[in-house]
Amino acid sequence: MDQIVIQGGNPLTGEIRIGGAKNAALPLMTASLLSGEPLTLKNLPRLADISTMSKLLEQHGVSVLRIEHGKGGMTMTFDAGGVDNTVAPYDLVRRMRASVLVLGPLVARFGEAKVSLPGGCAIGTRPVDLHIQGLEKLGAEIDLDGGYITARAPNGLVGDQFVFPFVSVGATENLMMAACLAKGETVLTNAAREPEVSDLAHCLVAMGAKIDGIGSDTLTIQGVGSLKAAEHSVVCDRIETGTYAMAAAITGGEIELKGVRTDLLEATFKMLGDAGLQIENTTEGTKVSLDSGGLKGVDVMTEPFPGFPTDLQAQVMALMSLAEGTAMITETIFENRFMHVPELSRMGANINVQGASAMVRGVEQLTGAEVMATDLRASSSLILAALAAKGETVIRRVYHLDRGYERIEEKLAACGAVIERAEEK
Ligand code: EPZ
């Protein structure tokens, strides 16, 4: 396993090009299963999860053509004209929860699907009960047996109304995709409004789907007989954007984030502005720096979009650990997303967890230490802390990082970070 070694203390200055969003790319790739004609996706990030999803689709019989690019994103074409297997096996699904997103497209187009239950992960149990309830509402017969979800709709799915009892990104995506091929109209109420959900909806419309209410919490889908070939460019990654914006702030530097749209991060940039960041739009993106007053403690509560994203909670905790004053950080989406707290504390952060809230009291300085990554976003939180800490930090188990951040050490080193990847000793 690899580790990342960082000598902290350098202000980061320069520019970072923001890639395509992992959490848009993964559902977009599963959308290819809905059509017998090829789907071409541009601006795909080079990430472990993208490779895992490609392998999963290939074992279903999707032909995957990869067109490498230089420093930009990848272009890949997915042709599901020859799908001959509707089973998603445990050994692939267990590695990546997003695999469950093949369920809706498979049962909608082929009338059957057998998908392993994803199992829990570091940040929570993360059940898929809403995915199942929604597909049943569209007429699928579902059995849970031997760790697998078996879904059948031999006469096809039938449109209906479904109200989400709480917001679920994945369940919204699965049901929106399934509804595209259901007979009649489907109305999804209290649907997720994340930009990645809207990006998927725009791609489905390009494939010939009929979807109204994109970007709102009510999606109305008129089923169609089949979908056609399309091309779509993946929306930029707002979580990568927020992470690198905080890298600029925590080191007292200045970074221009290229190719990013600030409307994807209004709540985040509002909070970061209150915490003392200067954020200004440029012709090619957004420039982020820390104003002269330094970092100030600001309370944060994670919420579904357009609220502050849970995927930036670990990163903002690292930032607040060096702020003047205190910050109360409350995690409302996942039940166990504070795994980064003990690791940050080992670097000198002063954090006190009470249930779903963590009280962060700013300290003068963090000190480098040996720490361990536990999940994707916790890893990036440790990177931020290490960039600002005095001395050397060694972050182990960085395979978590590779799932969601493309070439992170290259992008940070190009802005002056002293960072290298090495074999774990
Ligand atoms: C997506 O996960 C993202 N992953 C997550 O990003 C993100 O944190 C999450 O949405 C919330 O924004 C991808 O898009 C691939 P949910 P998802 O369904 O769809 C519970 C990252 O770091 N729930 O919105 O799995 C669930 O347990 C990852 O990039 C049910 O109870 O999230 C959670 O507590 C981490 N039953 C809450 O709802 C269900 O059927 C929100 O989950 C579905 C979800």
Residue 110 has pLDDT above 90, yes or no: yes
pLDDT exceeding 90 applies to what percent of the chain? 87
Q: What is the pLDDT, as a whole number, of residue 398?
A: 87
Q: What is the pLDDT, as a whole number, of residue 343?
A: 96
Could you tell me the pLDDT band of residue 267, with boundaries at 50, 70 and 90?
very high
Phi and psi angles of residue 132, each rounded to the nearest 5 degrees, phi first = -70, -45
Q: Does 378 sit in the ligand 1 pocket, CB within 6 Å? A: no
Q: What is the pLDDT, as a whole number, of residue 70?
A: 67
Structure tokens at 413: 């080193």
What is the CA(175)–ligand 1 centre distance, in A?
A: 14
Mean pLDDT of the region 351-369: 97
Reported as a single tens digit per residue, the pLDDT across 211-250 is: 999 999 999 999 999 999 999 999 999 999 999 999 999 9
Q: Does 400 sit in the ligand 1 pocket, CB within 6 Å? A: no
DSSP for 171-217, written as a single string? HHHHHHHHHTTSBSEEEEES----HHHHHHHHHHHHTT-EEE-TTSS
What is the CA(85)–ligand 1 centre distance, in A?
A: 26
Q: Does 159 sit in the ligand 1 pocket, CB within 6 Å? A: no
Q: Does 131 sit in the ligand 1 pocket, CB within 6 Å? A: yes
- From the candidates 121, 203, 236, 415, which is the catalytic residue? 121
Q: Does 23 sit in the ligand 1 pocket, CB within 6 Å? A: yes
Reported as a single tens digit per residue, the pLDDT across 116-167 is: 998 766 677 778 999 999 999 999 999 998 899 999 999 999 999 999 999 9
Contacts for 267 with CB less than 8 Å, ≥ 6 apart = 303, 306, 307, 308, 309
Overall pTM > 0.85:
yes
What is the CA(324)–ligand 1 centre distance, in A?
A: 32
Reported as a single tens digit per residue, the pLDDT across 55-88 is: 999 999 999 999 877 667 899 999 999 999 999 9
What would the 3-class secondary structure string for 38-87 be? CEEEEEECCCHHHHHHHHHHHHHCCEEEEECCCCCCEEEEEEHHHCCCCE
Q: At what angle do helices 129-137 and 169-179 cross, to 10 degrees?
A: 20
Structure tokens at 386: 């290490």
Structure tokens at 399: 């395979």
Q: What is the pLDDT, as a whole number, of residue 72?
A: 75
Q: What is the pLDDT, as a whole number, of residue 118?
A: 82
Phi and psi angles of residue 305, each rounded to the nearest 5 degrees, phi first = -55, 140
Identify whether the C-beta of residue 197 lies closer than 8 Å to the C-beta of residue 172.
Answer: yes
Phi and psi angles of residue 334, each rounded to the nearest 5 degrees, phi first = -115, 150
Q: What is the pLDDT, as a whole number, of residue 120?
A: 65
The span from the CA of 238 to the CA of 271, in Å, is 15
Mean pLDDT of the region 350-361: 97
Mean pLDDT of the region 273-291: 94
Contacts for 154 with CB less than 8 Å, ≥ 6 apart = 111, 112
Per the annotation, the verdict on 121 as an active-site residue is: yes
Nearest CA to ligand 1 atom 25: 170
Pocket test for ligand 1, best of 100, 125, 126 (most atoms within 8 A of CB): 126
Taking the CA of residue 335 as reference, the ligand 1 atom at the shortest distance is 34
What 8-state DSSP symbol labels residue 97? G
Structure tokens at 219: 């999606």
Which comes out higher in pLDDT, residue 424 or 146? 146
Structure tokens at 108: 């909608």
What is the CA(171)–ligand 1 centre distance, in A?
A: 9
Determine what percent of the chain falls in helix, strand and coil, rounding each to the nearest 5.
35, 30, 35
Could you tell me the pLDDT band of residue 261, with boundaries at 50, 70 and 90?
confident
Structure tokens at 243: 């992470």
Residue among 96, 92, 81 nearest 34 (CA):
81
Q: What is the pLDDT, as a whole number, of residue 372?
A: 92
Q: Write down the residue that tokens 């078996």 correspond to.
A: 150
Q: Does 310 sit in the ligand 1 pocket, CB within 6 Å? A: yes
Q: Does 204 sit in the ligand 1 pocket, CB within 6 Å? A: no
Q: Tell me the pLDDT of the chain averaged across its residues.
A: 95
